[in-house]
Amino acid sequence: MTSLLNQYSRNSTVRWLFVILISINITACFSEKREDMSLTYIQSLPQHQVNNVWFQQAQSNLKDKMKNKVLTNSASSAKNVILFVGDGMGVSTVSAARILQGQLAGNNGEENLLSFERFPFSGFSKTYNVDQQTPDSAGTMTAMMTGVKTDAGLLSVDEQSNRGDCASAKNHRLTTVLELAELAGKATGIVTTARITHATPAASYAKSVERDWEDDSELSIDAKASGCVDIAQQLLAFKGGIDVALGGGRKHFLPEAQKGSRQDGKNLISQWQTLYPQGQYVDSKQQLLALDSKINGPLLGLFNDSHMDYSAEHSVDKVEEPSLSDMTRIALSRLKKNDEGFFLIVEAGRIDHGHHAGNAYNALHETIELSDAVALTLEQVDLTNTLVVVTADHSHVMTFAGYPKRGNPILGKVVAAGENTPTLADDGLPYTTLSYMNGRGMHSLGHEGDADRVNKLEINVGRKDISKIDTELPGYHQEALIPRHSETHGGEDVGIYAAGPGAQWLTGVNEQNMIFHVIAQSLLSKDESVVF
């Protein structure tokens, strides 16, 4: 990886040029041939998107950064972009996962670095939604995909839309960078360990006033009457087609008669296969890894009815699902075949779910899995023409405290420097380094790898005697203070880690929607000296 980062520091010789039709209506753009494109990416966006205050503010900030002589000494035009999103991967999560990875390798841990922490550029992202101080994933991913902040629960429609009201989204739909990449002739891909219809991946291809409308069974009566289209159907209807789509959520593509949840009787998997006769559909790790590498057609993989299993379940429960690294490797091998380049989104979706369950073990192991996927990626791409961005959509309320000694197990009880027994709090009880501000509270489920099992148990918040409990096991759920059916997101800034052309523009403290503008500028601008 060091050699790749050294290559990055040289000025890129790769300059990719493209033009597109003059059109405000994105649907009209897709109906024309790519060869006829004649203007820059910005002119394919709806006027309400370009005029949005969030969009304008980010463009202004990017222009200021491009005037910085230190930053402009680095290359900025990219052929490929890969965006890694650690869902819920706040700074405390990154720090704790870094230590855990080091300790699993037999070291103290604190000196360790995750793969993306070695990137030459880093900054922060302000994650708030237009209507919420502490955000949700729909609004945050919309910001990263469209350059516009919006309300919680909305997918790629602006804040003038009302959640759950289809009619309110008219003339407020936003164009995503995934759509722009497709227009530009790039190969496109989405990889996630969550349902592929879940908020974070869905924001890249769907326009919805309700993130929960993953299939028609979730639509309200009014929504159906208004002609709203569920998210799974929008995946199939994506103009130009997504070249690689891998994740969970199979039930949203199948009718109830086939063990799915759709009430309209449609089998969207069969429809996809009809739409793409040269494509390949897989639903197991064995099928994915056995794919013929010479075949270049579209690829759809749905490996679980709901979210994919935690990586801890792969080792504890011998689950046979592909890992995030498996899916990322296959996606890259497909997308790299496109001479025009590619745009790939990779989401480690289950970091978030581990935290919601108050289970640091799973959240940290999923973060390590993300780090592994990034490391694998760096071995397969050239950072002189590929921008790699790693960030989070939001944080969580996991705390990292207690004065443990150097090298103390990050999932263990606090043991102070010079001591060999756990430190006792003023109530006479030991406590762990990691804990949660709110959630379901302490549960000791031994070797259970599925953190979601806690949702079937009674809430158990407050201080508990954990003296005889092994807190390092997969099934240990940390203590929490405030009772909630699900632990909440956190509102603090999250990290941005970047390498490759344009990475320098993500330094400092950024509004989250700046990520779209940097990606679009690097991947799609014909002139790297101009910001639009």
Strand order from edge to edge, sheet including 480-483: 398-400, 434-439, 480-483
Is the distance from CB of 100 to CB of 364 less than 8 angstroms? yes
48 among the known binding-site residues? Answer: no
As to burial, measured by CB atoms within 10 angstroms (0-12 exposed, 13-18 middle, 19+ buried), residue 201 is buried
528 among the known binding-site residues? Answer: no
Position 376, amino acid: L
As a whole number of angstroms, the distance between CA 178 and CA 185 comes to 11
Is the distance from CB of 130 to CB of 496 less than 8 angstroms? no
As a whole number of angstroms, the distance between CA 434 and CA 21 comes to 53
CA-closest candidate to residue 164, choices 208, 130, 205: 208
Position 510, amino acid: N
Query: Is 76 in a helix, a strand, or coil?
Result: coil
Strand 508-511 to 244-248 pairing: unpaired
Is the distance from CB of 217 to CB of 231 less than 8 angstroms? no
87 among the known binding-site residues? Answer: yes
216 among the known binding-site residues? Answer: no
252 among the known binding-site residues? Answer: no
**Helical packing angle, 324-335 and 360-378, nearest 10°:** 30
As a whole number of angstroms, the distance between CA 168 and CA 151 comes to 13
230 among the known binding-site residues? Answer: no
198 among the known binding-site residues? Answer: yes
Strand 489-490 to 395-396 pairing: antiparallel
Is the distance from CB of 155 to CB of 12 less than 8 angstroms? no
As to burial, measured by CB atoms within 10 angstroms (0-12 exposed, 13-18 middle, 19+ buried), residue 426 is exposed
Beta carbons within 10 angstroms of residue 324's beta carbon: 28
Give phi and psi for 157, each to the nearest 5: -130, 150
Catalytic site includes residue 261? no
- The CA R_g of the chain, rounded to the nearest whole Å, is 23
Strand 508-511 to 121-126 pairing: parallel
Catalytic choice (12, 23, 74, 137): 137
As a whole number of angstroms, the distance between CA 46 and CA 160 comes to 14
Is the distance from CB of 184 to CB of 524 less than 8 angstroms? yes
How far apart, in Å, do the first and last CA atoms of the chain sit? 33
222 among the known binding-site residues? Answer: no
In the block, tokens 């009014």 appear at 222
Beta carbons within 10 angstroms of residue 498's beta carbon: 26
64 among the known binding-site residues? Answer: no
Binding-site residue ranges:
87, 198, 200, 347, 352, 356, 393-394, 489
Binding-site residue ranges for Mg(2+):
87, 198, 200, 347
Task: State the catalytic residues.
Answer: 137
Binding-site residue ranges for Zn(2+):
87, 352, 356, 393-394, 489
